[in-house]
Amino acid sequence: MPEPPSAATPTLPLEAVLTCINGTTRWSILRELADGSSLMVSEIARRTGCGPPVVSKQLAILRRAGIVINPRGRLFEIAPQFVADKSQRLLDFGWCTLRMNVDARNP
């Protein structure tokens, strides 16, 4: 069993983290990217069942907060400092650790 990630020092304000994880669409986007994937808007839209304009808008919110980056043009990924464990899809924001391997639609 892998060791749990160590507590990271928060680099984002708590309000920004809470705003970004509040909402099923942003949660779905984070879940799809939590394994370290770099995906295009169209692929995220397909995987989440949301339209590309909706995904683009939500990605813009996540990008402004610094959670999501797009270092290679049209590919989006979670900023590496927040990916605590790709295989377990754990995101560590310092304030909280999210287990994104749980499908919120099918608890």
Return per-residue pLDDT of the chain as tens, 107 residues. Answer: 444 445 566 677 788 778 878 888 998 999 999 888 899 999 999 999 999 999 999 999 999 888 899 888 899 999 988 888 888 888 788 777 777 876 655 44
Residue 6, Cβ density class (10 Å: 0-12 exposed, 13-18 middle, ≥19 buried): exposed
pLDDT at 88: 81
> CA–CA separation, 100 vs 107, rounded Å?
12
- The CATH topology of domain 14-99 is Arc Repressor Mutant, subunit A (1.10.10)
- Which amino acid, one-letter code, is at 99? R
Instruction: Give the number of other Cβ atoms within 10 Å of residue 62's Cβ.
Output: 22
The ranges assigned to domains in the chain are 14-99
> CA–CA separation, 54 vs 52, rounded Å?
5
> CA–CA separation, 68 vs 63, rounded Å?
5
